[in-house]
Amino acid sequence: MKGFSVPNDKIGLVLSGGGIRGMAHIGLIKALQERNIEPTQIAGSSVGALVGALYANGNSTDDMLNFFKETPIFQYSFFAIGKPGLIDTAKYYPLFKKYFVQDSFEALSKKMYVVATDLLKGEEVLFASGELIYPLLASAALTPVFSPIEINKTLYADGGIMNNFPKEYLDDTCDYIIGSNVSIAEELKKKDLNNVLQLAGRVTGLMIYASNKEKLSQCNLSIEPKELEAVGMLDKKGIKKAYTLGYDYGSKALDKIML
Q: What whole-number distance in Å separates Cα of residue 110 and Cα of residue 9? A: 9
Closest CA to 45 of 213, 178, 182, 207: 182
Amino acid 42: pLDDT: 98
H-type alpha helices, 107-217? 133-139, 196-216
Q: What whole-number distance in Å separates Cα of residue 51 and Cα of residue 67? A: 10
> Of all helices (H) and strands (E), which one includes residue 149?
strand 149-151
Computed over every residue of the chain, the mean pLDDT equals 89
Q: What whole-number distance in Å separates Cα of residue 104 and Cα of residue 73? A: 24
Q: What is the pLDDT of residues 13-26, one digit of tens each?
A: 999 998 899 999 99
Q: Assess whether pLDDT exceeds 60 at residue 7.
A: yes
Q: What whole-number distance in Å separates Cα of residue 171 and Cα of residue 132? A: 23
Amino acid 116: pLDDT: 97
CB 239 within 8 A of CB 23: yes
Q: Assess whether pLDDT exceeds 60 at residue 2.
A: no
CA distances from 140 to 47, 134, 151 (A): 6, 10, 14
Mean pLDDT of 103-107: 98
CA distances from 29 to 17, 179, 246 (A): 16, 11, 8
Q: Assess whether pLDDT exceeds 70 at residue 239.
A: yes
CB 156 within 8 A of CB 119: yes
Mean pLDDT of 121-140: 97
More confident residue, 90 or 55: 55
Is-catalytic flag, 158?
Answer: yes
Q: What whole-number distance in Å separates Cα of residue 218 and Cα of residue 121? A: 29
**pTM for this one?**
0.91
Q: What is the pLDDT of residues 163-218, one digit of tens each?
A: 999 999 999 999 999 999 998 766 656 776 676 655 655 666 666 677 778 899 99
CA distances from 244 to 23, 49, 60, 121, 249 (A): 8, 20, 16, 39, 8
Q: What whole-number distance in Å separates Cα of residue 132 and Cα of residue 129? A: 7
**Three-class secondary structure of residue 11 per DSSP:** strand
Q: Of the ranges 3-7, 33-37, 230-234, which is most confident?
A: 33-37
Closest CA to 165 of 216, 95, 227: 216
CB 23 within 8 A of CB 242: yes
Amino acid 180: pLDDT: 97
CB 199 within 8 A of CB 193: yes
Q: Assess whether pLDDT exceeds 50 at residue 1.
A: no
**Which of 16, 45, 46, 147 does the annotation list as catalytic?**
46
Q: What is the pLDDT of residues 31-83, one digit of tens each?
A: 999 999 999 999 999 999 999 999 999 999 999 999 999 987 766 567 766 67
CB 72 within 8 A of CB 133: no
Mean pLDDT of 133-140: 97
Closest CA to 170 of 42, 39, 256: 42
**Which of 118, 147, 158, 251 does the annotation list as catalytic?**
158
Is-catalytic flag, 46?
Answer: yes
